[in-house]
Amino acid sequence: MNDSNENVIDEFIEKMGLMSQSDGLPRIAGRILAVLIMYDEPYSFSQLSERLAVSRGSVSTNTRLLVHLGMIERVTKRGERQDYFKLKENPYLSLMQGIEARTTHATDVIEQTQNQLLANDPSISGAQQRLTEMKTFYQSFKSAIQDLTS
């Protein structure tokens, strides 16, 4: 690979780390994801650790997170004991399904709260209105996600 492409890839990896961090995830998770997006071959813990100049513990923690989010998967190579990681097929659908599940949960929490609050209590009328607005937002968001994933 030529140096120009390697520089572009390095920049992408760092930018993915920053994007991940701005989304509330660890920076290293975004950097790991970027490596697996850019390269065809699965990467081992040690390869990721070396490529990103981070500890194996950090790689372990963040690969578990990315597996849990449905973005990457753990794979093995015949005859080798170590685990490897690769980008999961259609990882973005898995990510959207996770967001949909969390949105459904948020809507359920809001509805339970509204149902448990005593009706006709003027001290919470503003809260009821804000809860209704919040529920409407989550319902609209879930509908948009379903449109994207269908």
pLDDT, tens only, 15-67: 999 999 998 899 999 999 999 999 999 999 999 999 999 999 999 999 999 99
Q: What are the CA-CA distances from residue 24 to residues 4, 21, 89, 100, 143 (Å)? A: 31, 5, 24, 17, 23
Q: How far apart are CA 32 and CA 30, in angstroms?
A: 5
Q: Residue 128: its pLDDT value, please?
A: 85
pLDDT at 84 over 80: yes
Q: Residue 22: its pLDDT value, please?
A: 92
User: Are 80 and 103 in the same domain?
Assistant: no
User: Are 64 and 112 in the same domain?
Assistant: no
User: Are 61 and 130 in the same domain?
Assistant: no
* Structure-token match 């005593």, residue found: 118
Q: How far apart are CA 24 and CA 27, in angstroms?
A: 9
User: Are 111 and 127 in the same domain?
Assistant: yes
User: What's the structural domain count of the chain?
Assistant: 2
User: Are 100 and 72 in the same domain?
Assistant: no
Tell me the per-residue pLDDT of 95-145, one tens digit each, with 9 for 90 and over: 888 889 999 999 999 999 988 887 777 777 788 889 999 999 999 999 998
Q: Residue 138: its pLDDT value, please?
A: 94
Strand, helix or coil at 87? Answer: strand
Range(s) of the domain holding residue 10? 3-89
Q: Give the global pTM.
A: 0.77
- End position of a domain, from candidates 89, 109, 129: 89
Q: Are 106 and 132 in contact (CB under 8 A)?
A: no
Q: Residue 90: its pLDDT value, please?
A: 85
User: Are 7 and 81 in the same domain?
Assistant: yes
What CATH number is associated with residue 75? Answer: 1.10.10.10
